[in-house]
Amino acid sequence: KNEVEQSPQNLTAQEGEFITINCSYSVGISALHWLQQHPGGGIVSLFMLSSGKKKHGRLIATINIQEKHSSLHITASHPRDSAVYICAVRSVAGSQGNLIFGKGTKLSVKP
Amino acid sequence: NAGVTQTPKFQVLKTGQSMTLQCAQDMNHNSMYWYRQDPGMGLRLIYYSASEGTTDKGEVPNGYNVSRLNKREFSLRLESAAPSQTSVYFCASSAGQGVEAFFGQGTRLTVV
């Protein structure tokens, strides 16, 4: 079983829809990251959080440490939001260097 | 404002050939990482360097070597490329553990 599970694997939405991507993990963590990978391949860090909620523009990330679950929300989605969204956790038990990555959620927003 | 720069962006190798992937960051970060990304799998850590002069194996180090040349540069070497090393390789850096990581644009490597 993967230590970081994302759902859904693929998501198609219409422009303007509210989108939620989920991430569940099975290890104790010190931080959770949400990353965005555009079709060109580059990876950009969106959020790093260890508790509560963070907001940046139309993106909101929440984490529930007790339930070992995080969500990434996109409000008023736009075609430029089309990308793969990756959840990654830094395990408290892991080696210093290692983030554990989910497989990603591929989002396609149609105009 | 370059951030993390990887070269080359694309490479095709024949089985048995060697090559070095270059990575440089201009953010004065202590920690640098090399990951590979394969279809249907999350990114996996190959090697990392917590600080200049140190390197450690990650999850999938076999077939690779690394050099932390200085604080800016962290290279990944394939001594004898194999088709199983066909992948997209990402370099990343961070100021330290538990802080935001910055990624390069990736190198798409095909071994035939």
Closest by Cβ to A95, choosing from B42, B43, B56 = B56
Per the DSSP assignment, residues forming a β-bridge with B89 are B36, B107
User: What chain A residue is nearest to B31 in terms of C-alpha separation?
Assistant: A97
Give strand pairing partners of A34: A47, A87
Contact residues for A4 (Cβ-Cβ < 8 A; gap 6+): A23, A24, A25, A26, A87, A88, A89, A100, A101, A102, B42
Give the tokens for residue B57: 């194996």
Contact B42 A104 (CB under 8 A): yes
**Rg (Cα) of chain B, in Å, rounded?**
13
Instruction: Report whether A9 contacts A106 (CB < 8 A).
Output: yes
**Residue A103 is nearest to which of B41, B48, B59, comparing CB atoms?**
B41
Q: What is the pLDDT of residues A1-42, one digit of tens each?
A: 679 999 999 999 999 999 999 999 998 898 999 999 988 778
CA distances to A108, B30, B107 from A52, rounded to whole Å, are 27, 28, 35
pLDDT digits (tens, 9 = 90+) for B59-108: 999 999 999 989 999 999 999 999 999 999 999 999 876 678 899 999 99
Give A33-73 pLDDT, tens digit per residue: 999 998 877 899 999 999 999 999 999 999 999 999 999 99
Q: Do A101 and B99 touch (CB under 8 A)?
A: no
pLDDT at A41: 76
